[in-house]
Amino acid sequence: MDLESQIYVRKSCRKYLDDEIDMTPIKEFIPKAKVLNSDIDYSYKILTKDELSIRTRWKAPYYLALYSEKKENYGVNLGFIFQQLSLYMQSIGIGSCWVGMANVKQKDPNFVITIAFGKSDDLTRDLSKFKRRSLSEISDMEDERLIPAQLAPSAVNSQPWYFKHTDDGFDVFKAKHNIVKQKIIGKWNDIDMGIALSHLYISNPDAFEFEFKNKADIKGHTYFGSVKI
């Protein structure tokens, strides 16, 4: 299973076929995915579009509704786990897209976000088609080890991450937003950070470690944690 190669061709899929999907591989993969914080309980449901209230112009045949205990960093944990699944699904011909503008009709206080998915003939893109900030804009110096994080998807392509080199990896920072941006995308940025960390893990599965240390914020960004890769 080569998930790393999927990072460089992945696209958020918004064009789906109505083909049925065998859910067995998806259900078997999820418990095998690496968890960032094992102290946070999470769960998921596979739903159809009729079981959701969706505020997008496009719809998928299936959705993963993601749930979590509302402990500190629960969003990061969900992003980290389920981006691994997103890349796995792509590797077996299933497209997906994180969807913040959807809610479950059966209300649940632990509901967080959904992932649209389904068969598609529009799964990938060329690396040149990614619209992302340069490495020098997301780090204190250009470093090709950060390309997987650079390519990570985020809410309205906000790319809230910034990396500062350390002796054994990077200190990770999350962008601070004004009141308007915080209201629109702030609640999703922890998930975005988890997605970027997931890409770094997939690219460095043997070396990857993430921990929180007592470090100062930097201009425009809040200290988020430190990663070894």
168 pLDDT more than 80: yes
Pair 37, 105 in one domain? yes
pLDDT value at 34 more than 70: yes
Q: In CATH, what number is assigned to the domain containing residue 186?
A: 3.40.109.30
Give me the pLDDT at residue 110, please: 97
Tell me, yes or no, whether 8 and 111 share the same domain: yes
Query: What is the reported pLDDT for 1?
Result: 67
Same-domain pairing of 10 and 44? yes
Residues 85 and 145 in one domain: no
**Residue 184: is its pLDDT beyond 80?**
no
Q: Using pLDDT thresholds of 50, 70 and 90, give the confidence band for residue 187.
A: confident
Is the pLDDT at 216 greater than 80? The verdict is yes
Q: Do 157 and 85 sit in the same domain of this protein?
A: no
User: What string of DSSP letters covers 128-152?
Assistant: GG-----HHHHBSS--GGGHHHHT-
Predicted pLDDT at 49: 93
Cα–Cα distance for residue pair 176/164, rounded to 1 Å:
16
Domain end: 95, 119, 143, which one?
A: 119
Residues 95 and 186 in one domain: no
CB-facing half-sphere around the CA of 139: CA atoms within 13 A: 18
Helix axes 189-203, 74-91, angle to 10 degrees: 50
Q: Is the pLDDT of residue 150 over 90?
A: yes
Q: Residue range 133-141: average pLDDT?
A: 97
pLDDT digits (tens, 9 = 90+) for 199-214: 999 999 999 999 999 8
Q: What's the pLDDT tens digit per position in 80-135?
A: 999 999 999 999 999 999 999 999 999 999 999 999 999 999 999 999 999 999 99
Look at residue 126 and tell me if it is in a domain.
no
Cα dihedral sign, 41-27-66-222: positive
Name, in order, each residue with C-beta under 8 angstroms of 100's C-beta and a sequence gap of 6 or more: 113, 155, 187, 188
Q: What is the DSSP letter of 167?
A: S
The per-residue pLDDT for 185 is 77
Q: How many domains does the chain have?
A: 2
Is 124 within a domain?
no
50 & 140 share domain: no
Q: What is the distance between the alpha carbons of residues 142 and 176, in angstroms, rounded to a whole number?
A: 22
Give the largest Cα separation in the chain, rounded. 51
The least confident of 124-133, 134-143, 173-182 is 173-182
pLDDT band of residue 178 (cuts 50, 70, 90) is confident
**What is the reported pTM?**
0.95
Helix (H, G, I), strand (E, B) or coil at 31: helix
| 40-93 tens-digit pLDDT | 999 999 999 999 999 999 999 999 999 999 999 999 999 999 999 999 999 999
Per-residue pLDDT of 11-32, as tens digits, reads: 999 999 999 999 999 999 999 9
Residue of 191, 197, 129 whose CA lies nearest to 169 = 197
Kindly state whether residues 76 and 173 are assigned to the same domain.
no
